[in-house]
Each structure stands twice: as structure tokens, then as C-alpha cells.
Amino acid sequence: MKDVFLARQPILDLERDIFGFELLYRSGGLNSFDPASDPDQASSRIVIDAFQNFGLSKITGGKPAFINFSESLIMGEVAALLSPDQIIIEFLEDIEPTAQILERLQQLKKLGYRIALDDFVYAPEYDPLVDLADIIKVDFLLSRPTGRATIERCLKGRQITLLAEKVETWEDFALAKELGFSLFQGYFFAKPEVMTANALTTLQINHMELLLRAAEPELDFTAIAEIISRDLSLTYSVLRLVNSAIFYKRLPITSVHHALTYLGERQVKRWITLIALQNVSTASAPALVTQSLVKARFAELLAPKIGLSAIGPSAFLAGLFSSLDALLRRSMGVIMDELRVADEVKQVLVAHGGPLEPVCSVVRAYMRGDWDRVESHMEELGLHFSDLSQVYLEALQWLPLYSDQ
């Protein structure tokens, strides 16, 4: 397969639940599409890679994928490769609304495809395209406040969902909600909303201790069972998991320790980490939990490729805890002072330094789609395209499939 970066960026709803993902494609490590490349070929590669090589459901977890379509791709049959419930056809508003384009978009809508109009700036001549759009995307970073308000007024009364992209701060998020936007794309959710000096609650400390135990190379089932037994919700979750269809047969469970032993070390690491990370948050933040898990596995798998196999478990922990400040709404320095983590984990999370920084810097850049920085790190560390794309995909595939267990 041709060298390719295929990344996803979450799109959130008003409750900060994951609505879908925009798929970003880059080849050759270039930032944005290569000006010399064919945009039709680039979009075609997204569809082909996502559907055939990567497996779309593995990338999006069953959520809809926003994929950019050029004018010629809209007129072609590329959309037919994927079902309407899998993708949202996204195109720029500078596509000329010719009779042929409008007719084709109407056909796609009749087939059940949803249409998103990207980088939207209102102009009357684009009304025919607006009439066919299900979602309007507005660049919050570039558009002026007056322009955003104008867009909201012009679209008022239409059955259109407004999506604010490049929402980087909680102030942007609040303003977008006030203006009537209901979908949001950006990294505001990965930053602390409110910083407080409150100590962790007893239950949060239990969950944090459980995360630390689950990250150890060799699990202490007795210690983990003791932690879980302090928390009714954790105990219920573990017992429910053991008795789920995942394990094929139901056995009478006599204790939490018995349940953990039956699950085995691999499942304990996977499921208990997810449950504890979800419970440690002071607010509903599924996107942040998911991002943290991907970062953790991404960092753990990447570490051996740059000669850091010995600290792979610490790389996992650094990725896992990378968003604790946002989850707990506290400063990272305060959180690290309260936890018994290795010095290299504290160094990379608090000061972006230490032996883990090379791994974590690559992970941060890749997850944000900062391809210039990714390429720079690759050159410094001697990484190849296949190293990153393969490891990223493995990290996505590693995510627990039944997060509600």
C-alpha cells in the first residue's frame, strides 16, 4: 500500500458525545494536500483506504465519517462504495452550483446520503447549495464574530445543522452554542474547562489507584480486587462484564478476585482501564476518554520503534493520563503530585520533557493532524510512514469494542 497517513478528528454534539469523525488523508507526510497532487485522487484514496485497507468501522467505531468530495467525485460513483449511514459527503462552498451538480446532489440525498457544506461564508448565490445541505461547517478560527452571527441569521428557519470547526477554547464552545451551533470540531474538549484547587474525592482516588495498578507490567489481582470492592459501580461493572455474552458461558462468581482471575490479565487491563478512566472524570467526556485510550496505546506501540521498549508501560501511562487535567479540571502538576507515577511520566506530562517526550510529541502531533511536525519528528527519530500509520490503526483497533460493559 502507498505510504499514507489516515487520521480522524472527532466531531462532538452539545453533550460532548461523539457524533462522528472527519477523516484526514495525507500522503508523503505533507501538511495539507500536496498542491501538485490531484484532489480527486486524494479524496478517492480516503475512501479506498478507509473502506478496503483500514476498514471504516475500525476507524470510526460505527460513527459517520465526514469525507471531502471534489466536484468530479460528486458527479462520479465514489460515494456508492460506502452506504449512506457510514459517510457524510463534505464539499467546499466554492463548488459552482450548476444544474448538473444540483441534480446529482439531489440524487444522493434521495439515496439517503447526508451533505455537509464546508468552510461556509454566506453569499446569496450559494442558496441552492445551502438548500440541499444537511450540515453547514463554519471555521470559528477564521470567521469574525459578526460573520458567524450573520450566518446564523441567514440560516435561521432552515432545517440545517450548524457545525463549528476549529473550536479551540471553551469560550469558543460557549459562543458557538449561544449562536445556535449544535456540532463542534476542535480541541477545546482536551483542555481544562475549569481549574480548581479541590482535592480528589475518595472515589476518584480509588479510580486513579486502579488505573495505576492496571498499567503495571504484572498485575496484582488481590490489590485490584480490593480497590474495586470499595466501589459499588466498579464492582457491578466487573461482574456484569464477566456474565456478558463476550465470555460465552456463565459461571457463578464468588468474589471480585474470582471475577478478575476468570477475566485474565489481558481483559483486566483492557476493561478495567476503560471503566476507571470513564469514572474518574467529573463530567461526561466520552471523546476525551477515547482520545486518551488511543494516545496510550499509540505511545506504547510506538516506543519500541524508537528504541524505548523498556519504558513502553510508562509511555502507555503517559498517553492515558495526558488529558487528566481536562477530565478532572485541575492542573496537571497538582494531579501528578497526588499520584505515584514514574518520574519520566511526570516529566513529560508536566514539562513536556524527559525520555518519553520523543514518543509523546509524535503522538500529540499525529492526533492533531499536524503533519509538518509529524514529518519533522519522523526525520529526527528515523521513523517511516508505515511505522506511524500501522501503529495508529492498531491503536484504534485496540479500543474496547463494548465500552458500555
DSSP string for 151-202: HHHHHTTSS-EEEEES--SHHHHHHHHHTT--EEESSGGGS-S----PPPPH
- What's at 306, amino acid-wise? I
Beta carbons within 8 Å of 189's beta carbon, 6+ residues apart: 10, 12, 16, 173, 285, 287, 288, 326
Question: Residue 296 is part of a domain; what is its CATH number?
Answer: 1.10.3210.10
What confidence category does residue 68 fall into, taking pLDDT thresholds of 50, 70 and 90? confident
Instruction: Answer whether residue 73 is part of any domain.
Output: yes
- What's at 271, amino acid-wise? W
Instruction: Answer whether residue 196 is part of any domain.
Output: no
3-state helix, strand, coil in the chain (%, to 5): 55, 10, 35
- Residues 181 and 270 placed together within one structural domain of the fold: no
User: Who has greater pLDDT, 342 or 347?
Assistant: 347
Instruction: Answer whether residue 183 is part of any domain.
Output: yes
- Check if the beta carbon of residue 318 is closer than 8 Å to that of residue 360: yes
pLDDT value, residue 247: 55
- Residues 170 and 234 placed together within one structural domain of the fold: no
- Residues 162 and 242 placed together within one structural domain of the fold: no
- Residues 351 and 253 placed together within one structural domain of the fold: yes
**Per-chain mean pLDDT for the chain:** 78
The separation between the first and the last C-alpha atoms of the chain, rounded to the nearest angstrom, is 36
- Residues 96 and 73 placed together within one structural domain of the fold: yes
| Boundary residue ending a domain (159, 190, 221) | 190
Instruction: Answer whether residue 404 is part of any domain.
Output: no
Strand partners, 92: 118
pLDDT tens-place string over residues 121-132: 777 777 888 888
Q: What is the mean pLDDT of residues 20-48?
A: 61
Three-state DSSP state, 126:
helix
- Residues 210 and 344 placed together within one structural domain of the fold: yes
What confidence category does residue 252 fall into, taking pLDDT thresholds of 50, 70 and 90? low
- Residues 185 and 222 placed together within one structural domain of the fold: no
Number of domains forming the structure of the chain:
2
pLDDT value, residue 52: 59
Strands 87-92 and 65-68, how do they pair? parallel
- Residues 237 and 113 placed together within one structural domain of the fold: no
pLDDT value, residue 235: 80
Identify the DSSP state of 351. H
- Residues 167 and 239 placed together within one structural domain of the fold: no
pLDDT tens-place string over residues 183-205: 999 887 776 654 444 455 666 77
pLDDT tens-place string over residues 304-316: 998 888 888 889 8
Residue with cell 469523525: 21
- What's at 82, amino acid-wise? L
Q: Is the pLDDT of residue 216 over 50?
A: yes
Distance CA 72, CA 101 (A): 9
Q: Is the pLDDT of residue 357 over 90?
A: yes
Domain that holds residue 9: 5-190
| Boundary residue ending a domain (168, 190, 212) | 190
Instruction: Answer whether residue 171 is part of any domain.
Output: yes
Question: Cα separations (Å) of 187 from 161, 293, 303?
Answer: 20, 16, 25
- What's at 299, amino acid-wise? A
Q: Which of 123, 79, 96, 403 is nearest to 273 (CA)?
A: 403
- Residues 306 and 219 placed together within one structural domain of the fold: yes
The rounded Cα 289 to chain-centroid distance in angstroms is 9
Instruction: Answer whether residue 349 is part of any domain.
Output: yes
Instruction: Answer whether residue 366 is part of any domain.
Output: yes
Instruction: Answer whether residue 403 is part of any domain.
Output: no
pLDDT value, residue 6: 74
| Boundary residue ending a domain (190, 223, 238) | 190
Residue 149 has which C-alpha cell? 452571527
- Residues 260 and 217 placed together within one structural domain of the fold: yes
- Residues 148 and 274 placed together within one structural domain of the fold: no
What confidence category does residue 361 fall into, taking pLDDT thresholds of 50, 70 and 90? very high
Question: Residue 151 is part of a domain; what is its CATH number?
Answer: 3.20.20.450
